[in-house]
Amino acid sequence: MQWSVGKPNVQIRKASIVCCIKLLEQKLIEPEKLYPSFKNLVNTLKNCLDDDWQNDIRFASVVLCRHLLTYLCPTSQFDREDYIHIYPELLKRLDDAQDGIRIETCKVFEVFF
Q: Does residue 105 belong to any structural domain of this protein?
A: yes
113 has pLDDT over 70 = no
pLDDT in tens, 54-101: 899 999 999 999 999 999 888 778 888 888 889 999 999 999 999 999
pLDDT of residue 7: 62
pLDDT in tens, 28-43: 999 999 999 999 999 9
Q: Does residue 87 belong to any structural domain of this protein?
A: yes
Q: Does residue 2 belong to any structural domain of this protein?
A: no
What domain range includes position 89?
7-112
Residue 19 CA to residue 68 CA, distance in Å, equals: 13
Q: Does residue 1 belong to any structural domain of this protein?
A: no
Tally of domains within the chain: 1
CB-based burial of residue 70 (10 Å sphere; 0-12 exposed, 13-18 middle, 19+ buried)?
middle
Rounded to 5, what percent of the chain is helix, strand, coil? 75, 0, 25
